Structure 1
Amino acid sequence: MKNILISTLIFMTLLIAACNTEKKPTETTQQNESVFPKGEKLDSENFTGTVWLQMMGARDTALHASFGNVTFAPKARTNWHSHPGGQLLFITSGKGYYQAKGEPARPLSAGDVVEIPRNVVHWHGAAPDSEFAHIAVSLNVDEGGAVWIGPVTNEEYVSIK
């Protein structure tokens, strides 16, 4: 199991490194450019605002992990939730936030990595003025999927400093 987790982490690190290649001065860059597909628009009560999801990788659970590209429109965010097996976030574009319950929100931008321990109640999403994208890796999915708790209120969201 530990070897599978290490292999997954190495793969994701290489994937992020490949995304952070420097552009030549003659190339133009769009703010929302990504090497990953944006995916399908989600219709879920577990998110506030417009969010797209593109699941990636095999559908079986041989790795005990699932991962996908999640893109948030400005102000969009997850509800408060936790993961029995933990979660990793690899930020690929834009500006956003991660907040564990009872802690201050942490600003995020491309290249940041968030390690979320098992069963930590948290949320993540876009800043008010930026689209935001990350690769979300749910670990040890054989222990269960996300546990959804409730929305991040507008008051909680706008109070981020």
Structure 2
Amino acid sequence: MISAEYCRLMARYNTWQNASLVTAADRLTHEDRWKERGAFFRSIAATLNHLYWADALILERLKGNVRPEQTIKHSLANPSDWEAFKALRLQRNEEIEAWSARLRDADLNGMLVWNPGDGATRIEKPKMLVAIQLFNHQTHHRGQVHAMLTAAGADPEPTDLHLLA
């Protein structure tokens, strides 16, 4: 279905697109980044925070952590400081790229099991599906941020994969 090379490509794409959104959002004020814009997570900043935390949770699952929510607390409001967010986002991008660099095709075989939230529910999914979800989820929400940034007068880069250097 997918390969380690696909994950490396998508990890590079993730880094590129996150940099594009952050650069565009840099042109906005703090208030403009947090302004209600009618999106699912309301604002540019909250949506970017959701992505940051969701990336951490999904990546931990891919690494075999069955209870990542015990140490990773999802927050739409944190980080609230833009400079702190940018530093953390860069670290998360590097973490995803490092994970994909070590990945072998065989690592994508088999099942992953985890217990989200309260731990009462056991979820079991193919590793490939979870890896696809990591990248698909990013693309989905980055599209929302791209639209909000464009509406706010910022100018993020195109999102076409063939433009990735």
Q: TM-score, normalised by structure 2?
A: 0.30
Between structures 1 and 2, the one with greater strand share: 1
Between structures 1 and 2, the one with greater helix share: 2
